[in-house]
A and B are shown apart, each in its own frame.
Chain A
Amino acid sequence: MEPTDRKYTKGHEWAKLDEGLAVVGITNYAQEQLGDIVYVELPQLGDALETSHAFGLIESVKAASDLFAPVSGEVVAINEDLVDRPELVNEDPYEGGWMVKVQPEDEGEIEVLMTAEEYAAYLQTLE
């Protein structure tokens, strides 16, 4: 079961509200599908994220996927550790592998995402 303190998208991103900021990362399922992650490209501080638009890129040896924003808002922090240790996304997708912190324009955008339970059910539908 995924952590219940956050919400999930069908694109396998998660968003968690933490002291007014939205912390964003990818799910355990996503990192398993990608395999060993070798590179994470993140936006710059101050960039504006737009819901459902690509904000970054994640690469394994044989694949690359866009990262889609679960929420709109300004980037106020990025996880610098991923520059040297992209494997953190594999090892600890929900804590050490977080990607960006966003000042959300509308927290309601997160509210409407899937709960951990709904996301688990959604994963079931993917075989």
Chain B
Amino acid sequence: MVDGPLAVEAIDLVKDFGATRAVDGVSLSVPTGSIYGLLGPNGAGKTTTLRMLLGIIDPSSGNRRVLGRSRPLDAAEEIGYLPEERGLYPAMHARDAIAFMGALRGMALREARRRADELLTEYGLGEWAKKPIRNLSKGMAQTVQLLGTIIHKPRLIVLDEPFSGLDAINQARLEERIRSEAREGATIIFSTHVIAHAERLCERIAIIAKGKVAFDGRVDEARARLRPIVRLQTREREGPWRSAIPAGSRTEGSTFVFELPESGPEPLLKALIDGGAGIEALAIERPGLHDAFVAIAGESAAAAMAQEKPQ
């Protein structure tokens, strides 16, 4: 359940490419001002969903509302989009490339050029402003495209696999930029197959697998689907305390690992102490998003994500 106004709403979106159903009844609710992650392995339908939300393609069925409009192109001047497959005109100067993307979104060219200069300077690329894109490194070109995505101060920023191809430093800078845009009130949707990015950035996520939404909600709600994990080390290996450990627990060396019983930590502790376990260490860990993803999307989807190109 989402409180407050929605920046993006999708209801039962379906997209067929010939006989293949790429997106199968996707429904999403993206609150205004949130950072929202679309998680899923390649081929799950993330990009197709984003393209439908942006109006690049029309859904085979279903409805969408973007910034209050049913035709996404009507809101195009308030949207910034960084596609998964990056593209710039190689002969264009960096400054002109950014300004061109601003002009596409309704900015006057003079204003767009002024703003492009500001952004390039802010990102330490001022001296590259009048160099052709073909002379820039891949990381620089990606930064130029990102700057072109945000030059017009959009209310909604859609980033498709934005961390792909960036080195660690630029990934950190991009994460900070995303947080900064969100602080200024923009809604950010980004797709990724790297759970760590979503875990660090997102308030809400949708987990997509095989064209369907397996989960749409807050990150802590996803985690809450799993019981906290207890890691226990004891002096004694046997004794009455063993009855306090649930069936299905496993051992990692001398450590017992099991889900926290629904009765909570206090009854567990009491049973261990009263049963003479001789507790040496006890930790209760909240499950990570990766564990939640495995639980929600299944082992196969998690394995597919793990096999994809690391970022």
A binds B: no
Q: Which residues of B contact A (CB under 8 A)?
A: none
